[in-house]
Every structure is written in C-alpha cells, then in structure tokens.
Amino acid sequence: MNPPSHQPAVARTVADAWARFDVVHAGPGGLNAFLAQDRSARALGTGEGPPRPLDGVPVAIKDNLATLGLPTTCGSRLLEGYVSPYEATAVRRLREAGAVIVGKTNLDEFGMGSTTEFSAFGPTRNPLDRERVPGGSSGGSAAAVAAGVVPVALGSETGGSVRQPAAWCGVVGLKPTYGRVSRYGLVAYASSLDHVGVFGATVADAARGLQAIAGEDPADATSLTTPVADYPAAVASAWATSGGSDQAPLAGVVVGRPREYFPEGLDPRLADCCERALARLRDLGATVRDVTLPHTALAIPAYYIIAPAEASSNLARYDGVRYGRRAPAEALRPMYERTRAQFGPEVTRRILLGTYVLSAGYYDAYYRQAQRARAAIASDFARLFAQGVQLLFTPTAPTTAPRLGALTDPYSMYLGDCFTVPANLAGIPAVSLPVGRVEGLPVGGQLMAAHGEEARLLRIAACLERALGAEAHQ
C-alpha cells in the first residue's frame, strides 16, 4: 500500500518544516503564510504509550482557531496580540493525536474574503506564483501546505474558504459535513455555515487530519453524534483496489455532473481539466450522469445575505469592553466607535449589510427569502442523492488564482464563490483536489457527497487522485 507516486515534496518532520519555512517565508516576497510560529513546539508526551496517528507531524492552524500559547488574531487589528485562555477542540485533538502545532496561518479578517488580501497583516502570496493570491480566506494554510512546510493544516469554511484556496494552490482541501468537527474555539463568522476544514498535501493527509479532529463534542451543541468512520482506511482501500487487480474500483458508483456548474462562459481550459477528471472517473468504472441543481443561481444571493446577517450579530462582541483592542476615548460611545473603526473595509461592509438585511421592514424581504432559497438549494442536493447519485463532480472555482490586487470589486469577488457556497448552505461534505493546470496555475476539481459520507468522498477522491497521477499537476 503506497501513497500516490506523484506526491509533492512536503516536510514530514518538524525539523524539515522549519528548514522549508526559512526558505519560503522570510523577507520581501516571502509567502507571509504564517502570523505566528512556535519554534519550541514538540509532540505532547512523546515516547509514552502506543504510537499515535500524527506523532511528530508538523501542522499549521488558521489563525481563527483558538490556541493556547500562541495569539489568535483572526487577521484583525481588533484582536492583535490576543491570546485565548482556552483551545479549540480541533486543535486539542490534533495535539492529542501527536501533531506538533508549528504556527498560526494568515487569513482574510475574520474569514471574510477570497484572497487573503483582507488580512490586517498583509497578504499571503501563492507559492506557485508569488505575484498571485493563494485564495482565501484560509490562504495561509493553503500556502503552507503548497510550499511543503506542513503536510496537514486546519482551515475554516463558511463559503469555500478551504476548498477555493486548496484549488488555487494545488493541494487538497476538505470541508466535512456540518457538525462533523466541533466548532468550539473556532471564532464565529456565520455560525450556521461555519465548519472546520482540513488541508492536505494529498487526500490521505486530509483524511488523517480529519480522523484526528472529527467527532462529537459536548462543548458544541451542533456537533454530530453519529459515529466517525475510518477515513484513512477508506483512502487506503482506494489505493489497494485502484493499484491492484480490480480494474473498476468505482463500479456501481454514480457521479452527477450538474449542468449549472459548467456554464457556457466557463473558461474552456478549466472545463477541459474537469472533463479529463470525469473521464478518469469513468475509466475507474463510475457512471457519469448529467444532472441539474435548479436553484444553484440563488446560492450567491442567499449566502451574501445569511452570512453577513449572522456576522453582524457574531461580531457585535468586539466592542472594546470584553473583546477587542480598546481604542482610547474620553467616553463610552466614542470608545465603541473608535474600537470598531479598527475593522477593515470588508468586515465593515459585511456588518453594515448584515445589519441592514436584519432590520425591521427588510427582514422579510431579504433574510426570510434567503432562508427559503437556502432550503431549496439543500433540497436540490437531497433529491439527487435520494435518486441514487452518490457524488457530484464540479470545478471548485470558476477561475485560477488572480494576481495580487486584481480582484478589487467586492461583487466579482463574491461571484467567485458560486461553486463552493452551495455545500455550505446545505451542510454537505465536499473536497477539492488538483485536476490540472491552466498556464501553470492549478485547477481544482470538487467532489460533493450526501451528509455524513466523508469516507465515500475520500475514497473516491483518492481513486481519482491516483488515476490522474502527474496529470493533476499538468
């Protein structure tokens, strides 16, 4: 049982992680993937008890997940220097699995953005082309994996913030089912859409990361109580079958190709990469069926009402009294105003938008309508999965990584999330993996499955990864 042979070079030990970090991170033109690092980090309790699944594996954490001993800034001036008194469940579980937390990674402020340019601490650069963005909002984690500093990193997703940067950096990004991973200690953006997600250099790495962090948590009332499957075993079974005598490991698997995700205007070179991946799925024995998800066009408007609405409420706590760096002022009201004036432009825009759509008189017109659209999108997926489609294959993003500074108007940035936000609205698991290149820039293919089907998703992703081999990076 061997991992795919095209596996990119990536640090597997903490010493290697620092060696790579020093090459790619520092100085002008450095990646700026990390906001904090812990050179003294070691695995917990090394040498005692049985070996653990991530013993000694260097891991990076998006800086909106609370960590002990390192700041948790959310890429915001408001939380500059803030050190959490408790740790996120996902981070604690990684440590308990033996992982070494080497640092905290850069992000768009509070997870709001698609390029990591909305970080208060400067943009992250894409390791494959340093003049380009890595995607976002978990751009630092994606870049850290793509640069080979760590094989596994945590990110978060509200509308694609793991899958889209994974696609643009040429790595694997997984968003599990809503509730599969505890949100305890994940700083809230839009709670009904927020997920902890995992980046991996390979599908197997993502599966190992998910295994360590998945499962019920009494500290998160929305965490799922259903049993956790063996994700690494699901991936290993894919390697065993697709490399061996079984020529059709996906026989009986029905993959849907939703027509709304292959619109007429889609870049034909990007579409070609996706069609090649679909051809590989057919080679593996899967049946590819053209399907329709008719409410897909409602996803962006619904998301950009629901997410800001929840954000405006979640971010009310940064008032300089209990949370947030307090701006000096002579009285309470100017203190609030100056403290909250430290939010960057995108966060401010979301708070204003969210407050507007929730206000009396507009609630029915916007928020309630958006909730109805969300339900319609979820039922589109449910209908297909009930009809025997086990998996959907789509592009992860409609473009490759843009140049730094190119995505200036918010509306075009929002539209770029069109293929990723539906899975967040529906809460279904989805993964992005590299399926090719356009002008040297990575293209991601997305697989989506029904609630709770991460093991199947990862097995099929691993089969596809292996079948594509070096093609995934060409």
Question: By the criterion CB under 6 A, which residues form the site for ligand GLN?
Answer: 111-114, 137, 157-161, 189, 307, 417
Across 368-402, b (16+ Cβ under 10 Å) vs e yields ebbbebbebbbebbeebbeeebbbbbbbbbbbbbb
Question: Which residue type is seen at 393?
Answer: F
Q: Which is nearer to ligand GLN, 115 or 342 (CB)?
A: 115
161 is catalytic: yes
Q: How far is the CB of 95 from ligand GLN (least distance, A)?
A: 24
Q: How far is the CB of 158 from ligand GLN (least distance, A)?
A: 4
Q: Which is nearer to ligand GLN, 34 or 304 (CB)?
A: 304
Tokens linked to 54? 């991530």
Quick check: helix, strand or coil at residue 58?
strand
175 is catalytic: no
Which residues, other chains included, contact 2 with Cβ-Cβ below 8 Å and sequence gap of 6+?
A: 239, 243
Q: How far is the CB of 160 from ligand GLN (least distance, A)?
A: 5
Across 200-225, b (16+ Cβ under 10 Å) vs e yields bbbbbbbbbbbbbbbbbbeebeebbe
How many helices and strands (H and E) does the chain possess? 14, 11
Q: How far is the CB of 112 from ligand GLN (least distance, A)?
A: 5
Q: How far is the CB of 146 from ligand GLN (least distance, A)?
A: 18
Q: How far is the CB of 286 from ligand GLN (least distance, A)?
A: 29
Given the residues 114, 161, 237, 242, the one annotated as active site? 161
Q: Which is nearer to ligand GLN, 173 or 436 (CB)?
A: 173
Given the residues 76, 84, 119, 137, the one annotated as active site? 137
DSSP string, 142-203: HHHHHTTS-SEEEEEESSSTTHHHHHHHTSEEEE--TTSB--TTBPPSSTTT-EEEEEESSH
- H helix intervals, 315-469: 332-340, 345-358, 369-386, 410-415, 421-426, 454-468
Q: Which is nearer to ligand GLN, 114 or 141 (CB)?
A: 114
Q: Which is nearer to ligand GLN, 111 or 176 (CB)?
A: 111
Among 422, 375, 388, 383, which residue's Cα sits nearest to residue 261? 422
Q: Which is nearer to ligand GLN, 241 or 420 (CB)?
A: 420
Q: Which is nearer to ligand GLN, 115 or 202 (CB)?
A: 115
Q: Report residue 142 CA to chain centroid gap.
A: 9
Element (DSSP H or E) covering residue 442 = strand 441-449
Residue 278 to residues 4, 102, 285, Cα–Cα distance (Å): 19, 37, 11
Quick check: helix, strand or coil at residue 403?
strand
Contact 146, 130 (CB under 8 A): no
Whole-angstrom distance, CA of residue 64 vs CA of residue 79: 10
Q: Which is nearer to ligand GLN, 175 or 208 (CB)?
A: 175
Whole-angstrom distance, CA of residue 124 vs CA of residue 71: 18
Q: How far is the CB of 118 from ligand GLN (least distance, A)?
A: 8
Q: Which is nearer to ligand GLN, 178 or 189 (CB)?
A: 189
* Residue linked to tokens 């008189």: 361
Whole-angstrom distance, CA of residue 150 vs CA of residue 459: 22
Quick check: helix, strand or coil at residue 441?
strand
Q: How far is the CB of 420 from ligand GLN (least distance, A)?
A: 7
Q: How far is the CB of 22 from ligand GLN (least distance, A)?
A: 29
137 is catalytic: yes
By Cβ distance, which residue is nearest to ligand GLN? Answer: 161
User: Burial level of 233, CB count in 10 A (0-12/13-18/19+)?
Assistant: middle
Active site residue ranges: 62, 137, 161
